Amino acid sequence: MTKPVLVLSRLQIRKLLAWISIALLSTEAGAQTVRIKDITDFEGARPNQLYGFGLVVGLGNTGGRSQFTQQVAADMLQRMSVNAKAVRELQIDPVFRSGNISAVMVTAELGPFARKGSRIDVTVSALDDARSLQGGVLLLTPLRGVDGEVYAVAQGPVSVGGFVAGGRAATAQQNFPTVGRIPGGAIVEAEARGEIVCNGRLRLLLKKPDFTTAQAIARAINQKFPEAAITLDAGTVEVTIPRDKRGNVVGFAGEIGLLEVAPDAVAVVVINERTGTVVAGQHVKISTVAVAHGNLTIVTAENPEVSQPLPFSRGQTTVVPRTQLNVTEQGGGLAVVEQSVTVAELARALNALGVTPRDLIAIFQALKAAGALHAELIIE
């Protein structure tokens, strides 16, 4: 019996090989690829920082009681044409010492594509001795840029993600009650437009500059739009807008952002000595090295004793110091850590020594000093 034979044309063979190549590439880099929009920004599309000074009112006796806060409140009332005796005689009027107001700094970030009438979030931070901004309302506050121009105005109830409570003998506090946010609390009054197109070109700025990643981005864009992208340096990729896309730059930028690449990064070990946290990247490697680690514990305790003289003697009662000293040294054998290839192998090798996160910090620092750690060591 003759077995059926599948006959393919040259065109079909080329298409089949192309699909196999795409499948292999997807299998190798599928879990490690990210979108270009997640690792880059468009040049010219930068945000602008805004700031302002204002007052928060309606605080339940948790506001500021300083002379500074009183004077700020009086100045505000004078600007509102309030000429009451309380404003003129600030020192003797009890209204401003009620603790229901607080002088605050207001900050916000104006996006490059924010337009007049749109809303942005603001952050409110106490500037005086207020204990909490919970339940307060921010009064109308102009927000200015670095050029001194007003770009937005903020007003609204402050949302605080914490609290402070207590009495005369004890207090309890969670998070930072003197800092709050107003979602959508500012209305944009002037625009700071971002221009991302210059002479028919776009420039992508890498958030983490890297030569390999820049080349990968240019290669991915050129596969979609041939000969459109070139790398200028480790942090910049320039893209020429094709003729058929110049009428729809927004759509072209969106297509570029959805392309996926496999970013690369330098080997880094980050150490936080305050919390004992150690984070190692996937490219971290160590050379073959011998490690011996042991802890030295010294415990001292003072137990003074009272020396009482005999009856009818001329001696005096004295306190005699007594110190107990205990020294314990943990045994640590010499262990050989073979050359590591992955972070998992590195972790298994160090865990075999029975070390704690605090010990890991000292070991990583010693490995770096010995030249056996092939990674950048960052200590926070």
191-200: per-residue pLDDT in tens? 988 788 888 9
pLDDT band at 310 (very low <50, low <70, confident <90, very high): confident
The pLDDT tens digits of the residues spanning 130-188 come to: 888 988 999 999 999 999 999 999 999 999 987 676 666 666 767 788 999 999 999 99
Q: How far is CA 238 from CA 30, 152, 166, 203, 229, in A?
A: 26, 33, 59, 4, 6
pLDDT digits (tens, 9 = 90+) for 92-123: 454 456 688 999 999 999 998 899 999 999 99
Helix (H, G, I), strand (E, B) or coil at 360: helix
| Global confidence as pTM | 0.66
- Position 11 pLDDT exceeds 80: no
CA 270 – CA 178 distance, rounded (Å): 31
Q: How confident is the model at residue 350 (pLDDT cuts 50, 70, 90)?
A: low
* Residue 24: pLDDT band with limits 50, 70, 90: very low
Distance CA 239, CA 247 (A): 16
The whole-number average pLDDT for the span 293-309 is 60
**Torsion region of 196: left, alpha or beta (phi above 0 gives left; psi -120 to 50 gives alpha):** alpha
Query: At 279, phi and psi to the nearest 5?
Result: -125, 125
**Average confidence score pLDDT of the chain:** 78
Comparing CA positions, the residue from 141, 147, 158 lying closest to residue 106 is 141
